[in-house]
Amino acid sequence: MSIPLTTIVTNKKSLQDFFQKHQKCITKGIKYNGFYLKDVLSGGCNTVLITDELINKMETTFAPSLLQKYYAKLFELRVFYFDNKCYSAALFSQQDEQTKIDFRNYNYDHPNRIVPYQLPFDIEKKLVQFMNEINMQSGSIDLIVTPELDYVFLEVNPVGQYSWISASCNFQLDKVIASYFKN
């Protein structure tokens, strides 16, 4: 699987250099996109496409921010991994301008289509091996599939939400998890 070129930046110069080198990149956590204090604790973790306009608005230094090379997507995959098994959902978010960069920019009027997805055997095998190597029994893995049908690994979240995938795809993950702990 491919992994996007990734860096952490804390200043405008580094941000500009990465942006110019890769032409298109995304971020999580610049300015008010990450968790922050403004009157009360608030924030989010949506992915944002870097633009010249955003760079021009940035201060000289800022909190550490993750940058990744942008990949066009055919669709997004959310994989809930539990006990050596992958429960995968395809999210067709790319056709909606509001959700094109990140499905978490929900469009409640026109929700994205979410369907169960069978990962190719070799991709699933790599994910299971990866999770075993980092000693995680559970987590949510984000991938994208490019128009060229390449699988790009974005991240794994150890706290990983699963109820919305379970409901959308009828995976009955509550039952799977309860059965695991019962045994």
Query: CA 1: distance to chain centroid?
Result: 15
Range name among 36-45, 78-87, 154-163 with the lowest pLDDT average: 36-45
Look up tokens 């995968």; give the residue.
Answer: 88
pLDDT in tens, 66-84: 889 999 999 999 999 999 9
51 contact partners, CB below 8 Å, separation of at least 6: none
45: amino acid identity, one letter: C
- Give the pLDDT band (50/70/90) at residue 44: low
As a whole number, mean pLDDT of residues 144-154 equals 95
* 22 Rama class: left (phi>0) / alpha (psi -120 to 50) / beta: alpha
- Give the pLDDT band (50/70/90) at residue 29: low
* Architecture, CATH, for domain 75-182: 2-Layer Sandwich (3.30)
Q: What is each CA distance from 138 to 84, 121, 122, 133, 177, in whole angstroms?
A: 9, 19, 20, 13, 10
For residue 92, the surrounding DSSP H or E stretch is strand 85-92
Handedness of CA 14, 62, 51, 26 (dihedral sign): positive
Residue 88 confidence (pLDDT): 96
Residue 160 confidence (pLDDT): 73
- Give the pLDDT band (50/70/90) at residue 34: very low
Structure tokens at 159: 């706290």
Look up tokens 């169960």; give the residue.
Answer: 116
| DSSP SS3 for 180 | helix
- Give the pLDDT band (50/70/90) at residue 41: very low
